[in-house]
């Protein structure tokens, strides 16, 4: 019989679906004073479960990740214990300072879950262009996943 832990883990496909339907990710960097620095961020994830956020190039997060690229990411949902669902990702961070990549990432994040036609995409690109100039992309390459979905237990603990 599998362990209870194995019963509640998310499969790769479930992790992709969960990341696609969730808007906010908590990213945790290591601060210079030794304390974790958690921040909620909008994001998108690609098919390989690399996670992408944008932030202002002079932000504390960027300074932290340039000093130490280790990150922990967390997506969580559920109001009752039986509904708790989470994906935690241990990742290595790259700071990408390229205007086209920043713009494309902002478009991906802002269109997440929507089917946009060419006109709508063009308007969105124009809309994010000004802020893209001041931003960088944080790309989180996963090293290890920890997940749980208490809903898989059907109310039995």
Query: Is residue 59 in some structural domain?
Result: yes
pTM above 0.85, yes or no: yes
Reduced to 3 states, what is the DSSP secondary structure of residue 130? helix
Selection from 143, 136, 137, 17 nearest residue 71 by Cα: 143
Query: Is residue 78 in some structural domain?
Result: yes
pLDDT per residue as tens digits for the range 33-64: 989 999 999 999 999 999 999 999 999 999 99
Q: How far apart are the C-alpha atoms of 100 and 106, rounded to whole Å?
A: 10
pLDDT per residue as tens digits for the range 114-139: 888 888 888 998 889 999 999 999 99
Q: What angle do CA 61, 101, 132 make, to 5 degrees?
A: 65
Quick check: 74 pLDDT over 60?
yes
* Structure tokens belonging to residue 132: 């893209």
Q: How far apart are the C-alpha atoms of 42 and 107, rounded to whole Å?
A: 12
CATH code for position 40: 2.30.110.10
Domain of 36, in residue numbers? 4-97+137-151
Query: Is residue 52 in some structural domain?
Result: yes
Query: Is residue 126 in some structural domain?
Result: no
Reduced to 3 states, what is the DSSP secondary structure of residue 134? coil
Query: Is residue 131 in some structural domain?
Result: no
């Amino acid at each position: 019989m599998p362990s209870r832990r194995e019963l509640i883990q998310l499969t790769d496909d479930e992790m992709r679906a969960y990341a696609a339907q969730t808007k906010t990710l908590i990213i945790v960097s290591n601060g210079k004073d030794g304390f974790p620095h958690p921040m909620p961020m909008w994001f998108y994830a690609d098919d390989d479960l690399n996670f992408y956020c944008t932030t202002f190039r002079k932000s504390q997060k960027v300074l932290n990740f340039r000093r130490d690229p280790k990150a922990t990411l967390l997506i969580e949902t559920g109001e009752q214990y039986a509904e708790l669902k989470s994906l935690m990702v241990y990742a290595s961070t790259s700071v990408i300072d390229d205007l086209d990549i920043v713009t494309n990432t902002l478009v991906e994040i802002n269109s997440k879950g929507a089917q946009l036609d060419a006109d709508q995409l063009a308007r969105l690109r124009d809309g994010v262009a000004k802020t893209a100039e001041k931003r960088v992309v944080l790309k989180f390459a996963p090293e290890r996943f920890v997940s749980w979905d208490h809903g898989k237990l059907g109310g039995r603990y």
